[in-house]
Amino acid sequence: MHREDAVLRVTLANSAQRNAQTPSLWKAMVEVAETLDPQVRVVILDAEGEDFSAGLHLDLFREDGLEGEPSLIKVVRESEEAIAALIPEFQRAFTSWRETDAVVVAAVQGHAIGAGFQLALGADLRVVSDDVKFAMREVSLGLIPDLGGTSPLVQTVGYARALEICLTGRFVGAQEAVGSGLAMLAAPKAELREATDRVVAALLEAPERSMREMKRLAVSASEVPLSEQVKNEAAAQARLLHG
């Protein structure tokens, strides 16, 4: 992690393993999100190396597991209830970013597969490199995406395209990502950080209180009926005008 004034950069730094994800990583990310300094206005989620994240670390499914990590094979063998109880712990690393007052921007290059795709979907905004390849491969393995990614994917690209992306497991490239609203913009890979920094600078031009209220409203707009949302708008505006 690196903090500079009101911006916190959280970087996946296991490029040798294509930034494959583990439960210990998720636990650390939840801690960052849930203890975020109130002075932080923007969080950048990015990654070292050629790929944002190739997804779940496959060694978690070995018989002897991965040192320091739970053995998913053992959990699967326990019971359906044990699996259902464990997954929500993992999901927090992906859903907790939406719950912060900070605007979260994912800078995504190369492959973002499975858990990698869902981590990017956990951000509020996405900036991608021109070589990005999003994919949900879970269904092709007889599973489903279970890390909080289905809701933001449907909200972003629509029901039909989200369903098709998940069922086929195909790659979504930069052009389609921008065209479908999945990404704000695409930049050459060598310029991804610079492009992300420009987006962040533009966000920070907004007054802080308005920025935080606007994020809350944008989140609630996808969760509550219009009759409740207009009340949320009125309450937010009253706070800003009175304060």
What are the pLDDT digits (tens) for 102-124? 999 999 999 999 999 999 999 99
pLDDT tens track for 10-53: 999 999 999 999 999 999 999 999 999 999 999 999 999 999 99
From the list 87, 102, 77, the residue with the least C-alpha distance to 56 is: 87
177: which residues sit within 8 A by CB, 6+ positions away?
126, 128, 132, 134, 183, 186
Q: How many whole angstroms separate alpha carbon 231 and alpha carbon 216?
A: 13
134: which residues sit within 8 A by CB, 6+ positions away?
108, 112, 113, 117, 120, 165, 171, 172, 177, 182
Q: How many whole angstroms separate alpha carbon 169 and alpha carbon 140?
A: 7
pLDDT tens track for 121-136: 999 999 999 999 999 9
Number of neighbouring beta carbons within 10 Å of residue 69: 14
Q: Does the pLDDT of residue 67 top 90, yes or no?
A: no
From the list 134, 126, 121, 66, the residue with the least C-alpha distance to 91 is: 121
Give the mean pLDDT of 75-98. 89
Q: Does the pLDDT of residue 65 top 90, yes or no?
A: no
Q: How many whole angstroms separate alpha carbon 13 and alpha carbon 46?
A: 9
Is the separation of the CB atoms in 130 and 162 below 8 Å?
A: no
Lowest mean pLDDT among 77-91, 95-109, 169-183, 199-213: 77-91
